[in-house]
Amino acid sequence: MDRSQACVILQPSYIPWRGYFHQIHSADVFVFYDDVQYDKHGWRNRNRIKGPGGSQWLTIPVLSKGNVSQGLAIDQVRINPTQDWATKHWTALRQVYGKTPFFAEYAPVLERFYRRPYELLADFTIELTVAVARELLGIAHTRFERSSRLGIGGTKTGRLVAICRAFGASRYLSGPSARAYVDDQQFREAGIEVDYIAYDYPEYEQRFPPFDPQVSVLDLLFMVGPESPRHIWAS
């Protein structure tokens, strides 16, 4: 493979914010890190949208007994089938964003995921993320992989290095918070450059001000549509 490739390795998240898609756009290979331990209060099963009363959470209910509480990997976490969360989430999206400029245009792409039954959390969040990246943001060049299907072991930085090497990547890209736990030296010893993406995005008009940058990328898409890339990687 081309040694100029850039690799990003991130845990799957539910309708992530625009910085997540900035990393997808910057990558030649994007690996969903789905076989590490599920973090119960993270972004794996929830995100925020901007409603008339402020930011509100959309949370996918997952089974806890013998599941999350046992420290299962992300790709093993099951969605609670007894709750009609998908209908509630889609109703919330329609109520909050139904009158935005681009909801009607993008809704058909998104709605099909909320109408399809999913057993595993990662299957739903990964497939939805790929659809948003490809069909709504037009990211065509990035190759998507799942770490659970690679058969690469190890822990922490050593495993990240091994994944990058498996794809012949010469660059590892990450967000700024990774500086606290990534051992850059291990990457350098493997001949891999480490770059940290800066999150410095312009504001855009939200339906319900004041502006809140920490919301799902759907907020941006519904408001500015095809201009969304200009507010992410083209900023």
- Flag whether 147 is in a domain: yes
- Flag whether 173 is in a domain: yes
Distances 155 to 36, 37, 151, 158, 160 between C-alpha atoms, Å = 9, 12, 13, 6, 8
CA–CA gap between residue 106 and residue 123 (Å, rounded) = 21
Question: How many percent of the chain have pLDDT more than 70?
Answer: 95
Cβ pair 74, 31 in contact under 8 A: no
Cβ pair 215, 50 in contact under 8 A: yes
User: So what's the pLDDT on residue 3?
Assistant: 42
- Flag whether 214 is in a domain: yes
Residue 70 has pLDDT above 70, yes or no: no
Residue 167 has pLDDT above 90, yes or no: yes
User: Which range of residues forms the domain containing residue 191?
Assistant: 6-231
Q: Mean pLDDT in the chain?
A: 94
User: So what's the pLDDT on residue 234?
Assistant: 77
- Flag whether 170 is in a domain: yes
User: So what's the pLDDT on residue 41?
Assistant: 86
- Flag whether 174 is in a domain: yes
- Flag whether 198 is in a domain: yes
How crowded is residue 71: how many other Cβ atoms within 10 Å of its Cβ? 10
Residue 140 has pLDDT above 60, yes or no: yes
- Flag whether 1 is in a domain: no
3-state secondary structure of 90: helix
Mean pLDDT (whole number) for 46-67: 90
Least trusted range by pLDDT, from 21-25, 66-70, 89-93, 140-144: 66-70
Instruction: Give pLDDT tens digits for 81-98.
Output: 999 999 999 999 999 999
- Flag whether 124 is in a domain: yes
Tally of structural domains, the chain: 1
Helix (H) or strand (E) holding 105: helix 103-115
pLDDT band at 224 (very low <50, low <70, confident <90, very high): very high
Tokens in use for 111?
Answer: 């709605």
